[in-house]
Copies of this chain bind each other. A is one copy, B any other.
Amino acid sequence: MNISNLLNVNPVLVDRVRLSIMATLAFKKEPVDFNSIIIELGLTKGNLSTHMKKLETEKFVEITKEFVGRKPKTTYSCTKFGKEALNNYLKTVEDILKKTSG
């Protein structure tokens, strides 16, 4: 049992909101736009914006900005690195929790 593995995981991924965002992006394989995430997870714009900035600086997501018609549109997708990090983290947690429930 190495519970202390938990203490080494990237803290950026631990937050529930960011974890939900990452899971959403990983689940839908295609890029997801700003407003869809807001609606799906019930977040405010400011909150999503700052979480995304963090996820981007960690290279967990890629942000694409384009114009659709005359309006700006921002879409996000999970990087391969991000997906690996997500799975690693979830497996670490799963592993530890399984050991404790035995």
Contacts and interface: CB of A to CB of B under 8 A. Distances in A.
Interface in A27-54: 27, 40-42
B16 A6 contact: yes
A45 to B, nearest CB: 16
A27 B1 contact: yes
Contacts of A79: none
Total identical chains: 2
Nearest to A41: B4
A88 to B, nearest CB: 10
A89 interface: yes
Interface string A83-102: 10011011101101111110
27 contacts: A1-B27, A3-B20, A3-B23, A3-B27, A3-B40, A3-B41, A4-B40, A7-B16, A7-B20, A7-B42, A14-B15, A14-B16, A19-B93, A22-B100, A23-B97, A23-B99, A26-B100, A27-B99, A83-B100, A83-B101, A86-B101, A87-B100, A89-B97, A90-B101, A93-B97, A94-B94, A94-B97
